[in-house]
Amino acid sequence: MSGSSSVFRAAFQGLSYPSVFHNRSSSSTIYPANHDNPKLDAFESHVCEELRRLEECGNYLSADWLRQALDVCLYVHSMVEENFPHIGKNSKWVNEHLEDMVKLLDICNALRESMSDIKQYKVELQLIVHGFQGCGPIGARQLLRARTALGNFNDPSAKAKEASEGKSRLENCSSMLRRMGERLVAPPSDAATASGGAAFLEPIYASKALMVFVCGVLVAAISTKSKRHLPQLCAGQTAWACSLQTLHHKVKEEIEKGRNKGTTCTLLYELKAVDSSSRSLYDLVNKLINSKSVPPNESQALELRQSVQSLRNCISELESGTAPFERQISEIFRVLVSGRMALLDVLSYS
């Protein structure tokens, strides 16, 4: 992550901006300057470029897109400490920001717990898939064990109970993010404030707005609630804020499409694929047992093994897609703690 952090630090040192993600073009969009300070202009231009790339990626509810979005959050947060010595004594705005950092830490903890739930879900399904391994014929006991285990994931009452257990955690996250989004207030911009130090609050403000947005998308993607909403953002009229609003609108449209279907499944593509594949395998096993086709004939055995393989592939895609999340969320937590301590330290000596 130190390499990622250097990307934005380079902008504040007047260095060229290297490519961070794969498949990026070497050219960069030039955004109009809004500040007298070239470092702040460079920051804004780079944030706009990252948001544009996220917008062009599409598939906003995929693990790959969320991974890139979380990386952008880390890039921005990794350099905001550069601005702390310049912010002066904007006590009211800064104090509110410090309070919001505590809320974001709580949200990170809740998201880490949710990621652990997903990991446990994946492990339990892997055990079911493992039970079908072997070259011998599939017997009645094997099918009955699989039906019982899969039934825990596919029975409506069991799913409702599981959803309710994790619902309050994500609901709290969603509520906190919604309130933070509604209360986002641009930093003071008048030159008299803190001897012009207000301009250096803009990167701090951008980092918080981006964090609220990306965490909101992640919560909406992994929630099992049928009503999912992104936090509204009032980020101002700067170039990066307009880019963020455009991206927010497109992601919101994709979430609304899934929400309008009234599904209680998650919207995260890879997790939804696992749920669907698990359901298909459960239905097939149940059909074989109810029809007393045990052991299954050659055609049925082939269909069963194909269904098992499909679930195995979906689990593998979920694992590779979401594995970085836990590390990224932990790193965001660390950066938030470090940033809050550094900000308090600067304020105590200002």
pTM of this structure = 0.82
Would you state the pLDDT for residue 308?
94
345 confidence band (pLDDT: 50, 70, 90): confident
Among positive and negative, which fits the CA dihedral 296, 302, 305, 306?
Answer: negative
CB atoms within 10 A of CB 38: 12
Across all residues in the chain, what is the average pLDDT? Answer: 79
Sequence-separated contacts (24+) of 285-288 with Cβ below 8 Å: 285/143, 285/146, 285/147, 285/150, 286/147, 288/143
Per-residue model confidence (pLDDT) at position 291 = 84
Model confidence pLDDT, tens digit, residues 258-270: 776 655 678 999 9
The two three-digit tokens of residue 5, written as one number: 């952090």
Task: Give Cα 9 to chain centroid, integer Å.
Answer: 24
**Among the residues of 183-295, which ranges form H helices?**
201-222, 239-260, 269-290
3-state secondary structure 78-107: HHHHHHHHHCCCCHHHHHHHHHHHHHHHHH
Q: Is a pLDDT exceeding 90 seen at residue 152?
A: no
* pLDDT tens, position by position, 314-340: 999 999 999 999 899 999 999 999 888
Lowest pLDDT segment from 78-82, 86-90, 181-185, 308-312: 86-90
Distance CA 200, CA 135 (A): 65
What pLDDT was estimated at residue 142? 85
For the cut 50, the answer to whether the pLDDT of residue 158 exceeds it is: no
Say whether pLDDT at 6 is over 60: no
Q: What is the pLDDT of residue 92?
A: 79
The two three-digit tokens of residue 82, written as one number: 């550069």
Contacts of 153 (CB under 8 A, 6+ apart): 121, 124, 125, 159, 275, 278, 282
ω before 187 within 30° of 0 (cis)? no
pLDDT exceeds 70 at position 145: yes
Rounded mean pLDDT, 136-153: 83
Residue 235's pLDDT is 64
For residue range 231-280, list pLDDT tens digits in order: 887 667 788 889 999 999 999 999 988 776 655 678 999 999 999 999 99
Closest CA to 100 of 347, 339, 329: 339
Taking 70 as the threshold, does the pLDDT of residue 138 lie above it? yes
Q: How confident is the model at residue 11 (pLDDT cuts 50, 70, 90)?
A: very low
How many other C-beta atoms can be found within 10 angstroms of the C-beta atom of residue 124? 13
* Helix or strand (DSSP H, E) at 196: none
Structure tokens at 26: 């070497």
Q: For residue 200, what is the DSSP state? A: G
pLDDT, tens digit, 9 for 90 and up, residues 201-219 = 888 888 999 999 999 999 9
